[in-house]
Amino acid sequence: MKQFTAIVRARTMEFVRDRGTFFWNLIFPVVLVVGFSFAFGSGKDALFKVGVMGDAAEGTFLSIEAVETIDYSNQELDGLLDKLRRHQIDMLIDFNSSSYYLNTEAASAEVLRTMSGADLGQFTEQKVEGEAIRYVDWLVPGVIGMNMLFSCMFGVGFVIVRYRKNGVLKRMKATPVTPLTFITAQMASRFLIVLATSVAVYAGTNLFLNFMVNGSYLLLLLITMLAILCMISFGLIFAARIKSEELASGLMNLLTFPMIIFSGVFFSLEGTPEIMQQVSRIFPLTHFIEGARGIMIDGAGLVEILPNLTVLGGMTVLFLGIAAFLFRWE
């Protein structure tokens, strides 16, 4: 235990005193969130998005170019109404029951009611209420997740490869420290660092962006911690045997970039080809972002995010197993 805490301490000091890396880890995500919220936060696009259930009649206002229709025939009404509440769609028309839904807090409601008046005169109007989710509310779990991924992969994977190359591992091997103690200490240090920076980035940006959190903070913390553990374990696989920093960094970049694109950090995968959405399920980042967005935006509880937690937990065990099997001091 004395060995463990001493190594955790040394590694954490190394990180905190490396000013460049330290500030990069803190500032980069903040700049991203603020930058994106400034760039994309200024209102929605002019297009009206109208969800349609059942067979739409031809030649209605739905054929106007400014109106995008999305066919939701096979989906549950409740989920679709949530989308309407969150301003993800502007209107929902159910041709089966001859009714339509509008969000009274959306600026588009009045326009759409007028536009559709001629076509939907016989339909009953129902109202829902709900504030818009801003892009930034949706973005923040993604950016924090991405930052976690970089920090875990490079902070553990890359650093241990560097230790192997420059001889720190060899020096450790010459002491009574076991690989298990050394590695778990590295993990623990990185875990504390990533958790602290994630909380700091969230709290810092929250000061002026006031994120929407409908679910429990405790649950948010839980999925964050599990995701960090999972990503550190993933990084350890690269740390297990590779001797060249160039190879390690190349491989990690090769894997992190698809993860960032396909895990839906910046843009929703909804509407992308089915195969892409399926592939994204193999990335830990996808499960963190999905779970965290669920908690923050949809107010999801433990039951709803249990599948994400289970996958993250399972992947952690799997990655740790592979890393332990592959690990060599030299």
Partner 1 sequence: MRIEHLKKSYGAVQAVNDLSFSIEEGSCFGLLGPNGAGKTTTIEIMEGIQEADSGTVYFKEKPIDRDFKKKVGIQFQSTALPEFITVKETLELFRALYPDPRDMDEVIDICSLQDILDRDNRKLSGGQRQRMLLGLAIIPRPEMVFLDEPTTGLDPQARRNFWKLIEKIKKEKTSVLLTTHYMEEAEILCDQIAIMDHGKLLEIDTPSQLLENHFDGALVTVPHTGRTDLGIKGAVYTETHLEVSTDNLDLTMNELLNSRLNLEGLSIKKPNLDDLFLKLTGSSLRA
Q: Which is nearer to partner 1, 113 or 162 (CB)?
A: 162
Name which position in 127, 171, 243, 281 contacts partner 1 (CB under 8 A). Answer: 171
Smallest gap from Cβ 177 to partner 1, in A, equals: 5
Closest approach of Cβ 302 to partner 1, in Å?
39
In the sheet that holds 91-94, the strands lie side by side as: 67-71, 48-53, 91-94, 99-103, 124-128
Beta carbon of residue 158, minimum distance to partner 1 (angstroms, whole number): 14
Q: Which of 44, 113, 173, 241 binds partner 1 (CB under 8 A)?
A: 173
Q: Counting contacts by CB under 8 A, is residue 188 touching partner 1? A: no
Among 78, 175, 271, 273, binds partner 1 (CB under 8 A): 175
Q: Is 167 in the site for partner 1 (CB under 8 A)?
A: yes
Whichever of 20 and 273 has its CB closer to partner 1, that residue is 20
Q: Does 6 bind partner 1 (CB under 8 A)?
A: yes
3-state secondary structure the chain: CHHHHHHHHHHHHHHHHCHHHHHHHHHHHHHHHHHHHHHHCCCCCCCEEEEEECCCCCCCHHHCCCEEEEECCCCCHHHHHHHHHCCCCCEEEECCCCEEEEECCCCHHHHHHHHHCCCCCCCEEEEECCCCCCHHHHHHHHHHHHHHHHHHHHHHHHHHHHHHHHCHHHHHHCCCCCHHHHHHHHHHHHHHHHHHHHHHHHHHHHHHHCCCCCCCHHHHHHHHHHHHHHHHHHHHHHHCCCCCHHHHHHHHHHHHHHHHHHCCCCCCCCCCCHHHHHHHCCCHHHHHHHHHHHHHHHCCCHHHHHHHHHHHHHHHHHHHHHHHHHCCCC
Shortest distance, position 282 Cβ to partner 1, whole Å: 35
7 part of the interface to partner 1, by CB under 8 A: yes
Toward partner 1, which CB reaches closer, 5 or 104? Answer: 5
Decide if residue 170 touches partner 1 (CB under 8 A). Answer: yes
Specify the residue, 177 or 322, whose C-beta has the smaller distance to partner 1. Answer: 177
Q: Which is nearer to partner 1, 122 or 175 (CB)?
A: 175
Exactly one of 98, 166, 210, 244 binds partner 1 (CB under 8 A); that residue is 166
Please say which residue, 173 or 241, places its beta carbon nearer to partner 1: 173
Q: Is 302 exposed, middle or buried (0-12, 13-18, 19+ CB in 10 A)?
A: middle
For partner 1, the closer CB: 18 or 131: 18
**Tokens 């709290």 sit at which residue?**
203
Work out whether 177 is an interface residue with partner 1 (CB under 8 A): yes
Residue 20 lies near partner 1 (rule: CB under 8 A) = no
Would you say how long the chain is, in residues? Answer: 330
Question: 14, 110, 125, 129: which one contacts partner 1 (CB under 8 A)?
Answer: 14
Q: Which stretch binds partner 1 (CB under 8 A): 65-73, 77-85, 97-105, 175-183?
A: 175-183
Q: Does 78 bind partner 1 (CB under 8 A)?
A: no
| Binding interface with partner 1 (CB under 8 A) | 2-3, 5-7, 9-11, 13-14, 17-18, 163, 166-168, 170-171, 173-177
